[in-house]
Homo-oligomer: A and B are copies of this chain.
Amino acid sequence: MKVGIINVTGYAGVELARILHRHPEAEIAAVTGRSAAGKKLAEVFPHLSALDMTITEELEESVDVVISALPQTASAERLAPVVAQGVRAIDISPDFRLKNVDEYKTWYKTDHPCPQYLESAVFGLPELHRDEIPGARLIANPGCYSTAVILALAPAIRHGIIEPDIVADCKSGVSGAGRALALTTHFSEVNENVMAYSVDGHRHLPEVTQELTRVSSGGPPGITLLMHLIPMTRGILVSCYARLKAGMSKAEVRQLYADHYRDEPFVQVVSESPQTKQTLGSNSCKVFTTVDVRTNRFIAIACLDNLVKGAAGQAIQNMNLMFGLPENLALEQLALYP
């Protein structure tokens, strides 16, 4: 199977290359990247010296699947002709995640370049949409925060055990902001520092709401997301809070979660507060629940590696499912600890 990576030069793109290098059934056939076109991949990224490939400006090879790691809008523009040609595509950008084109415009401040694909695109969170992925032509890979928040909350919402008024306090390492330069990702500004950002609303909110509404037996939950930047490179941890409806105990809540995710290869329900370090470099998402019995508050914590389960790893999980391969091919790597 031949894979093309569009925009290999960002962090998600380069992580795709790293993971696919060990894929027994897939071959990286082409990698694009406008700024580095013409250079050897290993010249730009010495850690990929085992991959003897030249970065091109456009996809020149014919491939079986294209994975785009372009930014928003640019990604949809580049994928539209690919999809039109019948090549299957996985988009790591947010362009095909929202079903509602007006929401897209509201949050991304631009008209959608190809709204005709929104309906058939599948939101690529296998834990919610595993059955739809094999038949999809176009997968919208979820956001890194969204993956963590949805996985933390979906069982509670599906089983109706919490009130629909939810706070998700999210902490992320800096690589989530990508490789583009900014003062907010300048080492001396971020190191030894914590801050909240996007305090007026983060773009992952509509996709989180869309997906949690789908699993909700009641109406759409009202969610506040607040994002925090943490002085580390990789990792997301989200702590979610809501009122527990019925008088469930800690143990019952945890059992409900354990049952819910029992067969998931990449979600582990854990009994100790999880740490992002336990997921570094792996496709694992660890989910933990507890109850603050003083206030009868439900707490769910999830963590993952934002570049793996939050981006490139999940894209390959989706690719495996699309092509009928074992879901964990190339994703067996355990977390790098310490």
CB neighbours of A224 from chain B (8 A): 241, 292, 294-295, 297, 299
- The distance in angstroms between the C-alpha atoms of A337 and B281, with both chains bound, is 9
Q: How far is the CA of A311 from the CA of B224 in the complex (A)?
A: 32
Is A275 in contact with B195, judged by CB distance below 8 angstroms? yes
Q: Which residues of B contact A80 (CB under 8 A)?
A: none
For A270, list chain B residues within 8 Å (CB).
Answer: 46, 49
Q: Tell me the chain A residues, 223-280 only, with Cβ under 8 Å from chain B.
A: 223-224, 226, 228, 230-235, 237, 239, 241, 243, 268, 270, 272-280
Interface membership of A199, Cβ < 8 A: yes
Which B residues are in CB contact (< 8 Å) with A231?
A: 187, 191, 230-232
Give residues 133-184 of A contacting B (CB, 8 Å): 165, 167, 169, 171, 173-175, 179, 181-183
B49, A194: Cβ atoms under 8 Å? no
**Of B268, B277, B284, which is within 8 A of A192 by CB?**
B277
| With known contacts A11-B188, A183-B181, A185-B187, A175–B338 Cβ distance under 8 A | yes
Chain B residues lying within 8 Å of A303, measured Cβ to Cβ, are: 194-195
Task: Write out the residue numbers on chain B whose beta carbons fall within 8 Å of the beta carbon of A278.
Answer: 46-47
Q: Does A334 reach chain B (CB closer than 8 Å)?
A: yes
Q: Check A239 against B169 for contact (C-beta < 8 Å).
A: yes
Asked if A193 CB lies within 8 Å of chain B CBs, one says yes
- Chain B residue nearest to A49 (CB atoms) is B268
Note all chain B residues with C-beta closer than 8 A to A186.
179, 181, 185-187
- Once bound together, how far apart are the Cα atoms of A129 and B40, in whole Å? 33
- Determine if B191 and A232 form an interchain contact, defined as CB atoms under 8 angstroms apart: yes
Question: CB-CB < 8 A to A223: which residues of B?
Answer: 295
Q: How large is the interface on A (under 10, 10 to 19, 20 to 34, 35 or more residues)?
A: 35 or more
Residues of B within 8 A of A243 (CB): 165
Residue contact A47 to B188, C-beta cutoff 8 Å: no
Q: Which residue of B lies closest to A198 (CB)?
A: B273
Chain B residues contacting A276 (CB-CB under 8 Å) are 192-195
Tell me whether A337 and B14 are in contact (CB under 8 A): yes
For A21, what are the chain B residues with a Cβ–Cβ distance below 8 Å?
332, 334
A226 CB contacts on chain B under 8 angstroms: 239, 241, 299
Across the interface, A280 reaches (CB within 8 A) one of B167, B179, B192, B239, namely: B192
Say yes or no: is A290 at the interface (Cβ < 8 Å to chain B): yes
Are B237 and A191 closer than 8 Å at their CB atoms?
no
- Pick the 7 closest A-B CB pairs, nearest first: A47-B335, A169-B169, A193-B277, A188-B338, A181-B181, A195-B275, A174-B187
**Apart from A192-B277, A193-B235, what are 5 other A-B pairs with CB-CB below 8 Å?**
A47-B278, A165-B295, A179-B188, A194-B230, A228-B239
- A-B residue pairs in contact (CB < 8 Å), sample of 17: A46-B275, A47-B278, A47-B280, A173-B188, A174-B188, A187-B191, A189-B277, A191-B191, A192-B233, A194-B235, A195-B237, A196-B273, A199-B288, A199-B290, A201-B292, A224-B297, A226-B239
